[in-house]
């Protein structure tokens, strides 16, 4: 990557959910098309300043380890600056982002993050392991709880992956590169039974829906994010 343009610390109704790509048109990275704006999308990163994010448990961003480079929000490799969380909490929403990592990289996006119980949440796993098999630890799964199904090709840098999460009522969906790969209901027998077999078995309310934050994790690997977009939904919105 080129020299960073900015070091970080200076200081979803009844409308059906449409695939983001169908609305994006020819919009540039980290911008919203007219269709996206009409559909209620908002940017969580404009390609220059990550003002919608802060360090977990703090009011500010980390002084180093996360930086902006060529329109990407980058968690630098070999550094441990910690996780970033949204300044805003969300209940029913659709969150979309692009990411790239070198082969072998490991990161994730967590949601239902309640800072009172620590760096925990339902994690959309991200692994740069082309050819990786579906498991509870696979890309686009609910980490350690539910495996994705029929995974599309997973890409390693310089290629870019597109991911999406929707939360509507108790229903949660994960997409990877345009394909729906996981769907579950918060608090369902399936979810709670799998949590009881996981390392999260003693975490209060884990597996249940929360109004909470979204997190970009720091798992050590270098990982770049862009096109971080969100829209709030109503719990009764129609399915696709």
pLDDT in tens, 11-52: 333 334 444 444 444 579 999 999 999 999 999 999 999 999
- Indicate the pLDDT class of residue 79, thresholds 50, 70 and 90: very high
pLDDT at 235: 76
Whether pLDDT at 6 is above 90:
no
pLDDT in tens, 157-216: 999 999 999 999 999 999 999 999 999 999 999 999 999 999 999 999 999 999 999 999
Whether pLDDT at 5 is above 90:
no
Task: Count Cβ neighbours within 10 Å for each residue of 170-187 and write b for 16 or more, e otherwise.
Answer: ebbbbbbbebbbbebebe
pLDDT at 26: 52
Task: Count Cβ neighbours within 10 Å for each residue of 37-59 and write b for 16 or more, e otherwise.
Answer: eebebeebbbbebbebbbbbeee
- Indicate the pLDDT class of residue 222, thresholds 50, 70 and 90: very high
Q: How far apart are CA 231 and CA 165, in angstroms?
A: 11
- Average of per-residue pLDDT across 218-233: 97
Tabulate helix, strand, coil % of the chain (nearest 5). 10, 35, 60
pLDDT at 81: 96
- Average of per-residue pLDDT across 53-76: 97
Looking at domain 38-232, its CATH class is mainly beta
Angle 28-33-35 (CA atoms, 0-180°, nearest 5)? Answer: 155
Give me the chain's average pLDDT, please.
Answer: 89
pLDDT at 102: 97
The domain segmentation of the chain, as residue ranges, is 38-232
% residues pLDDT > 90 (the chain): 84
């Amino acid at each position: 990557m080129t020299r960073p343009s900015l070091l970080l610390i200076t200081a979803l109704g009844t409308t059906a959910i449409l695939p983001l790509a169908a609305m994006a048109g020819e919009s540039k990275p980290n911008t919203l098309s007219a269709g996206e704006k009409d559909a209620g999308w908002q940017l969580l990163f404009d390609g220059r300043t990550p003002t919608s994010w802060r360090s977990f448990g703090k009011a500010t961003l980390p002084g180093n380890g996360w930086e902006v480079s060529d329109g990407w929000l980058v968690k630098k490799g070999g550094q441990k600056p910690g996780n970033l969380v949204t300044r805003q909490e969300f209940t029913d929403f659709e969150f979309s982002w692009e990411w790239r990592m070198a082969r072998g990289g490991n990161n994730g996006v967590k949601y239902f993050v309640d800072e009172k119980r620590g760096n925990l949440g339902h994690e959309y796993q991200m692994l740069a392991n082309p050819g990786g098999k579906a498991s509870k630890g696979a890309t686009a799964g609910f980490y350690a709880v539910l495996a994705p199904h029929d995974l599309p090709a997973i890409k390693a840098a310089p290629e870019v992956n597109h991911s999406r999460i929707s939360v509507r009522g108790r229903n949660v969906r994960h997409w990877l590169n345009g394909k729906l790969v996981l769907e579950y209901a918060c608090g369902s027998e399936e979810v709670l039974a799998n949590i009881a077999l996981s390392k999260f078995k003693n975490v209060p309310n884990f597996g249940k829906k929360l109004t909470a934050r979204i997190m970009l994790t720091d798992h050590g690997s270098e990982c770049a994010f862009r096109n971080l977009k969100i829209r709030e939904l109503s719990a009764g919105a129609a399915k696709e």
